[in-house]
Structure 1
Amino acid sequence: MSVIVVTDSSSRLHSDELKQWNIRQVPLHVLVDGSDLRDGVDDAPYDVHERPRATTSGAAPAALTETYAQALADSGGDGVVAVHISAALSSTFSTAVAAAREFGSSVRVVNSRTAAMGVGFVARAAAEAAMSGSDLEAVEAAARSAIPRTHAFIVVHRLENLRRSGRIGAAASWLGTALSLKPLLTLDVDGRLVLDQRIRTITKAHAAMVERVAEIVGERSARIAIHHVDNHDGADQMGAALTTRLPQIDSLTVADMGPVLSIHLGAGAIGVVVQTAD
């Protein structure tokens, strides 16, 4: 048997990738029109990010416990490493820590300090170690070593969704006067959503995001994921710009942001997640 990796649906990993890397996934939740929808399991309205009363919640305690128990059994006792969305953005991490106590040291919970494919990249790093035969300590170490190599940037078209959801964190002080801005946001080392640059237009904000990613990657190889909220053209343009700017990258994928993150970011948002080579 081997160590098994668990993550949550914020990771934006496709079902084929989950199968390829033997990663188990626990759904986050979307609450809309009186319904509790499981992200990645139940169909959410295509315009859920436009609905002012739509909210989100973290992974359910029972789902985490059940998934950990099954993964631990399937590992033959080798253990489980659970990689979850930033604790600064969701209750999922704290709920996961509580759920893992039932299993003692056999289930290790890692705060990815990131979101979207950033979570997926960290989970994949752990899964690669697990599939190579590494033990529980080494798989957990692989996940934790991937965190500082993983960076995320976001440009939103409007601030109302962030204001409504309360996820703006340390950037809240400028929300009241920044309605004309198209800010470049980032997740800091603690996984909090903060202001990276104050920018006046979407075009300049996207250009600044390309430059910030290029600064981080340098001459190294890297994996990049582009996410969007109902903005396929913008995501494709960002992909073309990054491919031109960084021809040495290992891979570049484009995927929607998913309903949970879309509710907080709003229509038009573009996000870039990059993980540099070890």
Structure 2
Amino acid sequence: MPADLAIVTDSTAYLSQPAVDRHGITIVPLSVAVGDEVLAEGVEISPKDVAEALRAKHRVTTSRPGPETFAAAYRAAAEAGASGVVSLHISAELSGTYEAAVLAAAQAPIPVRVVDSRLVGMALGYCVLTAAEAAEAGLGLDAVADAAAQRAARTSGFFYVDTLEHLRRGGRIGAARALLGSALAVKPLLHLSAGRIEPLEKVRTASRAIARLEEIAVEQAGEREVDITVHHLAAAERAEPLAERLRERVPGLRELYVGEVGAVIGAHVGPGLLAVVLSPR
């Protein structure tokens, strides 16, 4: 992309590498600790690694990048000739990443607009792509940030987890904590609301939960032009068939992507995750 505006995001956007390369997006990794070993997401630890660690009952935690990591990314953008940076990140309700970026932006040598997407995964990824395309179209710093924020506002995410235990351990469960008492008897459907993980519905079996997830996606998509991502963790056998059914049932579908979440989100949701991200154009 042109060097005038730089686009920075974090590793929880789970963009494909071709998309990152095509738009010249800078990715700042979050960290995952397995026991005492701290590893950079997408660089030193894979989704498979974290799924295996969780199944083996190892202690898995996550942490944000430090402000100095963002400061280095912003300096590099300036040195490459950028006149400004739009930096888009995982919901501040779920991570301190946004806060770290804001602290670094205050000391950056060029103007930096930091956007709290209030999203995660490809829900954030779609906002990043919108920002990159707006920058490439020649929009200014504020207009690029606004375009990304508008895409974020109309993007939604719905997901199924086999157990709430991983979310409980990581403290990311929010109001869904109310489901814990009956967690053994139900399969929870959750969604992102105001940047937080909130309960949506309780379903009795995994098969019914996945069927309901499909129905919700179809209902929410309606007739609009929409991009869809089906995310999973160690559950491709669930994700691929769901994606094919959505391809057949969503009339306004533009692009469909199936991708595994990375180690950071995987650490909080556990193996078996199935999620649908809907992002109207």
Provide the rounded CA distance (Å) in 1 between the counterparts of 2:231 and 2:73: 27
2:258 corresponds to which residue?
A: 254
Q: How does 1:153-172 map to 2 (within 5 A)?
A: 153-172=158-177
Measure how far apart 1:75 and its partner are: 4.2
Residues in 1 aligned to 2:177 and 2:102: alpha-carbon distance in whole angstroms = 28
Q: 1:238-265 CA deviation, whole Å, 9 max, x = no partner?
A: 1012112114311111111111111111
TM-score when normalising by structure 2: 0.94
Matched-pair contact (CA < 8 Å) for 2:6–2:82: no
Hey, what's the Cα distance between the residues in 2 that align with 1:71 and 1:182? 45
Contact 1:11–1:117 (CA<8 Å) still a contact in 2? yes
Partner of 2:45: 43
Report 1:5-84 matches (<5 A).
Answer: 5-44=7-46, 45=49, 47-50=52-55, 51-77=57-83, 79-84=84-89
How much is the aligned-residue C-alpha RMSD, in angstroms?
1.5
Offset, 1:212: 1.7
SS of corresponding position for 2:107: helix
Look up the equivalent residue of 1:234 and give its one-letter code: R
1:52 and 1:186 map into 2 onto residues whose CA distance is: 27
Once residues 199 and 251 of structure 1 are traced to their aligned partners in structure 2, the CA distance between those partners, rounded to angstroms, is: 29
The Cα of 1:22 is off from its aligned counterpart by: 1.6
CA deviation digits over 1:203-237, x for unaligned, max 9? 22112212222222211111111111100110011
Aligned match of 1:173: 178
Q: Distance in 2 between matches of 1:113 and 1:136?
A: 20
**Residues 29 and 192 (structure 1), Cα distance of their counterparts in 2 relative to 1, 3 Å cut:** same
User: Do the aligned partners of 2:70 and 2:104 also contact (CA within 8 Å) in 1?
Assistant: yes
- How many angstroms apart in 2 are the aligned matches of 1:95 and 1:154? 27
| One-letter amino acid of the counterpart of residue 241, structure 1 | R
Give the match for residue 5 of structure 2.
3
Structure 1: runs of 5+ lacking an equivalent: none
* Residue in 2 that maps onto 1:225: 229
Contact 1:11 1:118 in 2 (8 A): yes
1-structure distance, mates of 2:93, 2:162: 22
- Residues 137-189 of structure 1, C-alpha deviations (whole Å, 9 max, x = no match): 1111111111111101110011211121111111112212232211110000x
* AA aligned opposite 1:27: P
Task: Give the match's secondary structure for 2:195.
Answer: coil
Give ranges in structure 2 of 5+ residues lacking alignment.
Answer: none
One-letter amino acid of the counterpart of residue 61, structure 1: P
State the one-letter code of the partner of 1:138: A
Query: Secondary structure of the residue that 2:216 maps to in structure 1?
Result: helix
Q: 2:277 aligns with which of 257, 273, 277?
A: 273
Q: 1:102 aligns with which of 94, 98, 107?
A: 107
Letter in 2 for 1:65: A
**Quick check: 1:89–1:191 contact (8 Å CA) kept in 2?**
yes
Q: Does the 8 Å CA contact 1:159/1:179 hold for their aligned counterparts?
A: no
Q: Distance in 2 between matches of 1:136 and 1:55?
A: 35
- 1:53-109 CA-partner distances (Å, limit 9, x unpaired): 1111112222111012212332432x1000000111111111111111112771010
Identity, in percent, stands at 38
C-alpha contact (below 8 Å) 1:227/1:235 kept by paired residues = yes
Partner AA of 2:189 in structure 1: L
1:2 Cα deviation after fit: 2.1
Instruction: Choose from 134, 138, 142 the match for 1:137.
Output: 142
1:195 has 2:199 as partner: yes
Which residue identity does 2:250 align to in structure 1?
L
Q: AA paired with 1:55?
A: T
Distance across 2 between alignment mates of 1:35 and 1:136: 39
2:211: which partner in 1? Answer: 207
